[in-house]
């Protein structure tokens, strides 16, 4: 480290430490709807000499003086849009705006505004090397109600990313390029992840293509082990630097990078010439730990970096769309932030008192028996059931036959292909499971093959329409259990088959997990 750099860091640390003191005092006396007025994350980064150049959140202001919109939603009933703003300057999201506007219909998050004043907003990602599942290859947008939380007692919503969802800005202003220094932090749901590529937030290629080692610098969160990984089973906070998720200096395994799964997880990646770091912490209490702080990885192509300055959320640099995760807030800075500045940012996150609320689709407990009721307005008395090996929806009532009730009752099993997901065994026909074949659902006996296990495994998540639970196919993760003309399928939104029709897709893939007709 040069003496000059050293002096700059020491001055920054002193400034940040002073701000933390002010923040802690403010937090102790804070009771109202607005947050501590001048000590929000981007105020702290600015005080540290590393200002935010992009600031995204659907839950709160990231500057004490910010009083603009946080995000925009679009409702399916008439395609109208509405900005969701703040309860007060520097405060928390006004979720009531969304709730009123989206009542009785489905809303998607169309824009996540940039609070930095640089218009580095995030919108629907275009297709890249990999096309998205939407029309013309764009990625899907997040369902606005899918990640409810409270923040300092106020209702708010995060950005719930499932495979196929992605946000991007390939034409930014002021974001680091080349080997320029930058810092990135984000607050994620540490319990919502997978091993797909790649739940990223940060700096990426401006053409949505893999442009080679060092053309990205993002935070990655999940348990992908294709490239790097850390200690324990994962998930890990790593850096996606393109063609590699790095957990530290070594390309593959770095023992100092721990498994972290706090419900609210603060994650940090920062980089400057031949120097970078990974840090993380519990967004509900305590401070940050550093799992790597050193020179660039032991692999050619990452020093110097070749950052391009696009911003993405929920996808890989080449628009890989296999990942899931939840985002609440995050920024990119100009300059390499000091640890002290980041520690004070972590203090504002803890002071915001993030709390879970509602369901994220995890109402299916292995061993229990359930019935799955359609929620589309046409069909709210119909249940997913089998008739022989065919899987359909039928009206079931208390006067239905015992056979019909049993055929509409499913024993929830730990996912045959993935224990983080579930499988459904027929209550009436032991050893027979709900599975898809050629994208249609059937009831078949488990034949013990890996293909059967994959075809019979579904991953629950919050209902796509904002109610109930949606069930993603484990081996076709952009396809969800859907009823269409009363027949069961796994359907993608707007895909090539008739049953992939976009009309009513969100409603048709949202199921009310109900008390079983046959317990």
Q: Residue of minimal CB distance from ligand AHR?
A: 316
Query: Which residue number, 236 or 383, has a Cβ lying nearer to ligand AHR?
Result: 236
Region from 3-11, 253-261, 313-321, 501-509 binding ligand AHR, contact rule CB under 6 A:
313-321
Distances from the Cα of 500 to the Cα of 79, 372, 440, angstroms: 20, 20, 11
Q: For residues 258 and 231, is the Cβ–Cβ distance under 8 A? A: yes
How far is Cα 106 from Cα 85, in angstroms, rounded to an integer? 19
Query: Which residue number, 220 or 458, has a Cβ lying nearer to ligand AHR?
Result: 220
- Please report how close the Cβ of residue 161 comes to ligand AHR at its closest, in angstroms: 14
DSSP string, 121-151: -EEEPPP-SSPPSSGGGPPBPPBTTSSEEEE
Region from 45-53, 316-324, 378-386, 430-438 binding ligand AHR, contact rule CB under 6 A:
316-324
Query: Which residue number, 271 or 316, has a Cβ lying nearer to ligand AHR?
Result: 316
Query: Which residue number, 20 or 310, has a Cβ lying nearer to ligand AHR?
Result: 310
Q: Contacts by 278-284 with C-beta closer than 8 Å and gap 24+?
A: 278/237, 278/238, 278/239, 278/247, 278/248, 279/237, 279/339, 279/342, 280/237, 281/346, 283/187, 283/346, 283/349, 283/350, 283/354, 284/350, 284/353, 284/354, 284/355
Between the two ends of the chain, the Cα-to-Cα distance in Å is 67
Other Cβ atoms closer than 10 A to 417: 17
Q: For residues 10 and 338, is the Cβ–Cβ distance under 8 A? A: no
- Please report how close the Cβ of residue 209 comes to ligand AHR at its closest, in angstroms: 8
Other Cβ atoms closer than 10 A to 223: 18
Among 197, 219, 323, 391, binds ligand AHR (CB under 6 A): 197
The C-alpha torsion from 11 through 181 and 23 to 17, rounded to 10°, is -30
Among 134, 316, 460, 477, binds ligand AHR (CB under 6 A): 316
Q: For residues 436 and 482, is the Cβ–Cβ distance under 8 A? A: no
- Residue 32 makes CB contacts below 8 A (sequence gap 6+) with none
How far is Cα 331 from Cα 302, in angstroms, rounded to an integer? 22
Give me the phi and psi of 489, to 5 degrees please.
-140, 170
- Please report how close the Cβ of residue 309 comes to ligand AHR at its closest, in angstroms: 15
Residue 19's SS3 state is helix
Query: Which residue number, 149 or 239, has a Cβ lying nearer to ligand AHR?
Result: 239
Query: Which residue number, 242 or 508, has a Cβ lying nearer to ligand AHR?
Result: 242
User: Footprint of ligand AHR on residues 119-178 (CB under 6 A)?
Assistant: none
Q: Does 189 bind ligand AHR (CB under 6 A)?
A: no
- Please report how close the Cβ of residue 239 comes to ligand AHR at its closest, in angstroms: 9
Catalytic residues: 242, 318
Q: What is the DSSP secondary structure assignment for residue 499, as one 8-state letter?
A: G
Among 140, 303, 320, 478, binds ligand AHR (CB under 6 A): 320
- Please report how close the Cβ of residue 402 comes to ligand AHR at its closest, in angstroms: 52
User: Footprint of ligand AHR on residues 343-402 (CB under 6 A)?
Assistant: none
Tell me the three-class secondary structure of 360-415, residue by residue: CCCCCCCCCEEEEEECCHHHCCEEEEEECCEEEEEECCCCCCHHHHHHCCEEEEEC
- Please report how close the Cβ of residue 242 comes to ligand AHR at its closest, in angstroms: 5
Residue 273's SS3 state is coil
Query: Which residue number, 55 or 198, has a Cβ lying nearer to ligand AHR?
Result: 198
Query: Which residue number, 114 or 240, has a Cβ lying nearer to ligand AHR?
Result: 240
Among 281, 317, 325, 516, binds ligand AHR (CB under 6 A): 317
User: Footprint of ligand AHR on residues 203-262 (CB under 6 A)?
Assistant: 210, 240, 242-245
How far is Cα 412 from Cα 427, in angstroms, rounded to an integer? 10
- Please report how close the Cβ of residue 226 comes to ligand AHR at its closest, in angstroms: 8
Q: How many residues bind ligand AHR (CB under 6 A)?
A: 12
- Please report how close the Cβ of residue 319 comes to ligand AHR at its closest, in angstroms: 8
Interface residues with ligand AHR (CB under 6 A) are: 197-198, 210, 240, 242-245, 316-318, 320
């Amino acid at each position: 480290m040069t003496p000059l750099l050293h002096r700059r860091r020491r001055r920054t640390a002193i400034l940040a430490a002073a701000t933390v003191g002010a923040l802690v005092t403010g937090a102790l006396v804070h009771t109202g709807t607005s947050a501590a007025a001048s000590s929000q994350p981007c105020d702290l980064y600015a005080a540290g000499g590393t200002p935010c150049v992009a600031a995204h959140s659907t839950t709160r202001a990231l500057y004490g003086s910010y009083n603009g919109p946080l995000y925009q939603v679009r409702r399916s009933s008439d395609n109208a849009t509405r900005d969701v703003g703040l309860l007060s300057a520097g405060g928390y999201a006004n979720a009531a705006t969304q709730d009123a506007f989206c009542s009785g219909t489905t809303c998607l998050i169309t824009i996540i505004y940039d609070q930095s004043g640089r218009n580095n907003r995030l919108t629907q990602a275009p297709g890249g090397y990999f096309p998205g599942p939407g029309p013309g290859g764009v990625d899907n947008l997040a369902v606005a109600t899918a990640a409810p939380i409270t923040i300092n007692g106020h209702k708010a919503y995060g950005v719930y990313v499932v495979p196929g969802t992605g946000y991007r800005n390939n034409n930014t202003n002021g974001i680091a390029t080349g080997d320029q220094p930058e810092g990135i932090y984000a607050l994620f749901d540490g319990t919502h992840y997978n091993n797909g590529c790649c739940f990223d937030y940060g700096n990426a290629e401006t053409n949505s293509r893999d442009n080679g080692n060092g053309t990205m610098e993002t935070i990655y969160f999940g348990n992908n082990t294709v490239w790097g990984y850390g200690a324990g089973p994962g998930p890990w906070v790593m850096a996606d630097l393109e063609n590699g998720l790095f957990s530290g200096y070594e390309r593959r395994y770095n023992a100092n990078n721990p498994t972290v799964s706090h419900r609210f997880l603060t994650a940090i990646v920062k980089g400057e010439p031949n120097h970078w770091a990974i840090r993380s912490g519990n967004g509900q209490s305590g401070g940050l730990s550093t799992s790597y702080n050193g020179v660039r990885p032991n692999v050619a192509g990452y020093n110097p970096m070749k950052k391009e300055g696009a911003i993405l959320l929920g996808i890989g640099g080449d628009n890989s769309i296999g990942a899931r995760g939840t985002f609440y807030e995050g920024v990119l800075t100009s300059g390499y932030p000091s640890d002290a500045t980041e520690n004070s940012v972590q203090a504002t996150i803890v002071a915001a008192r993030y709390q879970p609320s509602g369901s994220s689709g995890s109402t299916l407990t292995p061993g229990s028996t359930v019935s799955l009721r359609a929620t589309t307005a046409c069909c709210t008395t119909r249940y997913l059931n089998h008739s022989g090996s065919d899987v359909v929806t039928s009206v079931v009532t208390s006067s239905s036959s015992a056979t019909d009730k049993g055929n509409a009752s499913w024993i929830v099993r730990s996912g045959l292909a993935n224990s983080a997901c579930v499988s459904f065994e027929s209550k009436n026909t032991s050893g027979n499971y709900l599975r898809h074949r050629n994208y249609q659902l059937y009831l078949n006996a488990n034949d013990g093959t890996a293909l059967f296990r994959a075809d019979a495994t579904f991953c629950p998540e919050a209902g796509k329409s904002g109610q109930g639970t949606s069930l993603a196919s484990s081996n076709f993760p952009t396809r969800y259990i859907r009823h269409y003309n009363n027949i069961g399928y796994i359907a993608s939104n707007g895909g090539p088959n008739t049953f992939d029709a976009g009309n009513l897709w969100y409603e048709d893939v949202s199921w009310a997990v109900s008390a079983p007709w046959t317990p």
